[in-house]
Amino acid sequence: GGGLVHSDRRNPCTASSTLRCCARSFARSSCRRGLRRSSMLLVLLPASAAFNVAARPASTPCARAAAPRLTSPLSAPTHPAVAGWPDKYAGTLGAATGPRVLHDAFAVEAADSALLMELDVANWPTWTTAGNDRWLPNVTRKDKEMPYGELSYLISGKLEIVPKETGLPVVVNPGDVVTFPEGFVSDWTVLEELTWHYYLY
């Protein structure tokens, strides 16, 4: 008749439930259409893009600004005396013979002629305590710290060195080669006026 009661078994809606049934039917059909669309998208897109997992670039943690490296004033920048030493060297740098570092630690050793020739000591610049009020004989200079490395060859005079580490006096005589490493601390006493060749590094 003209009522809202349907006898169709496929869609058994009563008058009171017509709106609810229609809503459920619409929802089911909408869900099915949505699933079909989603399935098509999943087929068309790579898995990583569909799920938005690996397609995004990995997040990078904020990089902290690197802390400035603290450098000892003994090692940087190059001491002016070291930078100027090559201009005082009468030999040829880079030749088969020439100055080089012998030891990493303080050392005093007698030099033979072969070593002197190998190091080209005769062409090293010369330093003396003559006329220098800072280095008067028999006056001890306490806690002298080397601002650079130095290799010295004593031509004449006599020097007493007492390393702070050992407290044991070492006497440097003519013909000795002395290694003063950078940062080496000691007491110096000029026993006799000094003259020596030197190499700074």
Bridge partners, residue 148, by sequence: none
Average pLDDT score, the chain: 77
Q: Which of 155, 91, 94 is nearest to 120 (CA)?
A: 91
Calculate Rg over the CA atoms of the chain: 45
Tell me how far apart the alpha carbons of residues 93 and 111 are, in angstroms, rounded to a whole number: 21
Residue 107 in this model has a pLDDT that exceeds 60: yes
Show Cβ contacts of residue 8 under 8 Å, excluding neighbours closer than 6 positions.
none
Is the confidence at residue 126, as pLDDT, over 50?
yes
pLDDT score recorded for residue 77: 73
Q: Whole-prediction pTM value?
A: 0.62
Which of 62, 45, 43, 63 has its CA nearest to residue 54? 45
Token pair recorded at residue 50: 């569909």
Question: pLDDT tens, 163-182?
Answer: 999 999 999 999 999 999 99
